[in-house]
């Protein structure tokens, strides 16, 4: 399919989602959810390709578009806000890792997965533990180690289920904090009213970003921001490759965030307008691309195996969420913080971007990215631990 046509559909989907989000019903749903739904519908009805036939454009938008958008949004970060968000985020991320392992273990028992997965029960449990603590690289690391790629339809089913559940959980995380506030009879911090001093302090940086976003960016500002973002992304890839040659293996996303954090403290950068606008647009485009990976038709083609695997993984993530939000409640942490920590577990660093933007909590973007990167390092080890636990 023509790459330019696919890009046109994605861009139109972002525009449509933004327009619908200005309407009464759309405002209640939110533009982030709308763009996922619109693109998922387009993909599953054959207008654009799905994950099984993903064009290079999808991979490019995820591998380049997401880091560049993160760079723009990090330019609003001030170190004082990051320090306040750091420790609670780290504690919730650790809780999320425990919740993922518990969820996979309990879901396997509830669904009797050892019976219908047979010899692949252990490796699959480890793979989903790894990916929902770290990310796709951890999933693939275990798949290669246990030669799971040779399992044929089961490997295909696992890949599709991973994409579908991740997208659905991200969509749920965009809604849950707002719902929790309404059930508790509280105003929603994401809308600018904060229910406790800690939440207000964490949002100071986001409020500054809101003020800046209201100013019309000049052509020069946009030109500088575009040049800075793509240069930083290129530099992060080069430096990551160089570190790998030295045996250090520093992820490019950590280098990118470090560069953005340093640049963000410069007064001249504070005067640039348009960071929020560019970052928000990039976040929507990234979410739209994720929507294309929600390939429901592939699950139906896999029949009973696909549905059982979907049930197993969906239960694991649901249990992860229940433990996370219950723990966040006991620790008296705002649900936005819990949601971003969960997203860092289940989706990795780049998934933090659309949630922080949607909640208007840019102070949580950098801590979320950092713990997501920590998950990349720990996910494989905890995945292997899960294989040992379920295999006896």
> Cβ contacts of residue 32 below 8 Å, gap of 6+?
17, 174, 283, 284, 287, 354, 357, 358
**Residue 153: what pLDDT?**
67
Q: For 114-131, what is each residue's pLDDT tens digit?
A: 898 888 899 999 999 999
Q: Is the pLDDT of residue 208 over 50?
A: no
Name the residue with higher pLDDT: 244 or 211: 244
Which of 167, 121, 146 is closest to 312 using CA atoms? 121
- Give DSSP secondary structure letters for 127-166: HHHHHTTT-HHHHHHHHHHTTGGGGTHHHHHHHHHHHHHH
**What local confidence, expressed as pLDDT, does residue 204 receive?**
44
Q: What is the mean pLDDT of residues 121-142?
A: 86
- Of 85-89, 107-111, 325-329, the poorest mean pLDDT is in 85-89
| Highest mean pLDDT: which range of 44-58, 100-114, 277-291, 362-376 | 100-114
Cβ-proximal residues to 83 (8 Å cutoff; 6+ apart), any chain? none
Q: Residue 215: its pLDDT value, please?
A: 62
53/310 Cα distance (integer angstroms): 20
CA distance 37 to 71: 26
Question: Mean of the pLDDT values across residues 201-206?
Answer: 43
Q: What is the pLDDT of residue 367?
A: 85
Contact 110, 315 (CB under 8 A): yes
Show Cβ contacts of residue 184 under 8 Å, excluding neighbours closer than 6 positions: none
What helix, strand, coil percent values describe the chain, rounded to 5? 85, 0, 15
Residue 341, token pair as written in the block: 């920590």
pLDDT higher than threshold 70 for residue 193: no
Integer-rounded Cα radius of gyration of the chain:
20
Neighbours of 221 (CB within 10 A): 17
Q: What is the mean pLDDT of residues 16-44?
A: 84
pLDDT band at residue 196, thresholds of 50, 70 and 90?
very low
The first and second tokens of residue 348, run together, are: 């990795």
pLDDT tens-digit map of 239-268: 999 998 888 877 787 788 788 878 888 888
Gap between the Cα atoms of 268 and 276, Å rounded? 16
H helices of 184-218, in order, are 197-202, 204-213
Which pLDDT belongs to residue 311?
Answer: 93
Q: DSSP letter at 50?
A: -
Q: Which has the closest alpha carbon to 169: 325, 44, 273? A: 325
> In this predicted model, which residue has the larger pLDDT, 11 or 253?
11
pLDDT band at 328 (very low <50, low <70, confident <90, very high): very high
- Model confidence at 289: pLDDT above 90: no
pLDDT at position 129, please? 95
- The verdict on pTM exceeding 0.75 is no
């Amino acid at each position: 399919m023509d790459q330019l046509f696919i890009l046109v559909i994605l861009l139109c989907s972002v525009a449509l989602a933004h327009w619908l989000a200005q309407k009464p019903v759309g405002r209640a749903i939110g533009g982030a959810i709308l763009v996922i739904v619109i693109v998922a519908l387009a993909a599953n009805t054959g207008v654009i390709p799905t994950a099984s036939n993903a064009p290079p454009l999808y991979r490019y938008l995820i591998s380049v578009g997401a880091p560049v958008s993160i760079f723009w949004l990090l330019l609003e970060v001030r170190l004082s806000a990051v320090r306040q968000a750091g420790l609670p985020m780290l504690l919730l991320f650790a809780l999320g890792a425990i919740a993922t392992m518990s969820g996979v273990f309990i879901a396997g028992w509830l669904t009797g997965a050892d019976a219908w997965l047979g010899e692949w029960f252990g490796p699959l449990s480890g793979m989903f533990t790894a990916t929902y603590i770290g990310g796709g690289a951890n999933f693939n690391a275990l798949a290669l180690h246990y030669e799971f790629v040779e399992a044929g339809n089961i490997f295909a089913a696992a890949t599709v289920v991973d994409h579908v559940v991740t997208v659905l959980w991200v969509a749920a995380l965009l809604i849950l904090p707002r719902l929790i506030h309404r059930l508790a009879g509280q105003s929603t911090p994401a809308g600018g009213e904060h229910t406790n001093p800690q939440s207000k302090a964490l949002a100071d940086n986001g409020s500054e970003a809101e003020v800046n976003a209201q100013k019309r960016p000049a052509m020069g500002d946009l030109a500088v921001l575009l040049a800075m973002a793509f240069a930083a992304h290129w530099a992060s890839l080069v430096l990551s490759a160089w570190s790998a040659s030295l045996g250090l293996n520093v992820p490019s996303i950590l280098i990118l965030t470090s560069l953005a954090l340093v640049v963000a403290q410069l007064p001249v950068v504070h005067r640039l307008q348009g960071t929020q606008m560019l970052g928000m647009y990039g976040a929507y485009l990234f979410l739209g691309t994720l929507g294309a990976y929600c390939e429901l038709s592939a699950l139906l083609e896999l029949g009973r195996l696909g549905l059982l695997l979907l049930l197993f993984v969906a239960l694991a993530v649901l249990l992860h969420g229940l433990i996370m939000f219950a723990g966040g409640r006991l620790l008296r942490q705002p649900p936005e913080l819990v949601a971003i920590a969960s997203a860092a577990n289940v989706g990795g660093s780049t998934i933090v971007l659309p949630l922080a933007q949607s909640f208007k909590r840019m102070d949580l973007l950098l801590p979320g990215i950092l713990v997501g990167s920590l998950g990349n390092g720990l996910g494989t080890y905890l995945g292997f631990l899960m294989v040992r636990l379920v295999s006896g």
